[in-house]
Amino acid sequence: MTTNNLSRVVRVKNERYRASGPKSYVYLLNKYKFSPTKPGPYFMGGKVQHQGKHGIGHLFGGKAHVQQRVLQKKVGSAAQPEEVPAEDQQNDSLYLSPVTIGTPGQVLNLDFDTGSADLWVFSTLLKKTTNTSGHNVFDPKKSKSFKETPGSSWRITYGDGSSASGSVGTDNVTIGGLTVENQSIELAKTLSPQFASGVGDGLLGLAYGNINTVTPKPVATPVENMITQADIPKTSELFTAYLGSYKDKNDVDHGASFYTFGYIDEVALGGQTPWYCSIDSSNGFWQFKSTTASVGSKKVTRAGNTAIADTGTTLALVDDKLCAAIYDSIPGAKYDSYQQGYVFPSNVTLEKLPVVAFDVGGKEFAVQKEDLAFASAGNGMTYGGIQSRGDLPFDILGDTWLKGIYAIFDQGNKRFGAVFRVDPTQDPSVPE
């Protein structure tokens, strides 16, 4: 097969995105449904839900039951638990990538997410009351190659009760110069306001297909179909992520940010040989051993620890002991229970920030110092890019860490690879 048509899939910055530490943390609480172990307004609790004879919400007959792991918020001086409002969650993506679906092609801007395995899009099947202003909406009737999948449906539900659901069909999907034929696409029929409020037109999951939500039978992901259909070389059954930053527009790479499918970008490698480690995909994630970390000159041993690489996560989440060690080494840093996260003074200079590195199966890769600052926390403080993972049994290494490497997701060989991303200048200013 020829690979001349393979090209970078550019990540385009969403100019409407506004970084918020607490909102991003709430998003992760919803996505991974973990309980916080540090004090703050958000917690996972049980919720009494009445199951009537005619289904949930019909209060005639039936019985009440407790729904476990529901995200709630303490409100007021009495700290009464209430449902988390939509405005408390970061429902937007900082970067989106164009994907073409159908014949003729319809371009949608999707969030590429290695922490999930669904390809779902805004569609014309949505209720008329759904606000789709500013979105590209896929119309299956305008595609000659679209085929409905009778009997199949999908539903994604988050910890706060928000959800997206709909029907399933197949169509041609073009990503980075290659076309995947008969790719299953999940068409949204219903969307909670949280989903509709963002700029993105849907999500493209890059995790393993065993966590796909389509019923009665999960469907293959785009990368799995690329491999099955031999759309990419047998020697390169992989995709890569080079997550640049708008802060680096004056660097040699001009802050480039992109994905590739079916090849490794030699320019991004910068002459380096990738470091690889095996992954455990049994939970659907890109999960690897991460048994050490470094905070400045201090080495932290973390026996049995693992981490996942998640491009759909802006922060990095680690255990409380390591979190405390990181912020103990930053002058003026403290835990802010109101924002449920660690903050530090915005005027801390680069020289005073520690080098923080995480193990990837035997070799440590560092967070760029500029990415230790995630967002303004007000009052001259900055919300840190590394926060507590609560009771999760593994770390989540999102964009805060991924921006320091060129990541290789080698699906064919079940391994994760990385090289250091060369960034000659560091900008410690608080992100926009």
Please give the positions annotated as active site. Answer: 113, 310
How would you classify the pairing of strands 292-295 and 356-360? antiparallel
Angular region, 156: left φ>0, alpha ψ -120 to 50, beta rest: beta
**Pair 97, 10: CB distance under 8 Å:** yes
Burial of 84 from C-beta contacts in 10 A (0-12 / 13-18 / 19+) = buried
Closest CA to 431 of 351, 353, 375: 375
Angular region, 108: left φ>0, alpha ψ -120 to 50, beta rest: beta
Burial of 217 from C-beta contacts in 10 A (0-12 / 13-18 / 19+) = exposed
Supply the DSSP string of 379-407, one letter for each residue: TTEEEESEEE-TT-SSEEE-HHHHTTEEE
Give the type of residue at 9.
V
Write down how long the chain is: 432
Q: Name residues whose C-beta falls within 8 Å of residue 215's C-beta, 6 or more positions apart in sequence.
A: 152, 153, 154, 155
Burial of 186 from C-beta contacts in 10 A (0-12 / 13-18 / 19+) = buried
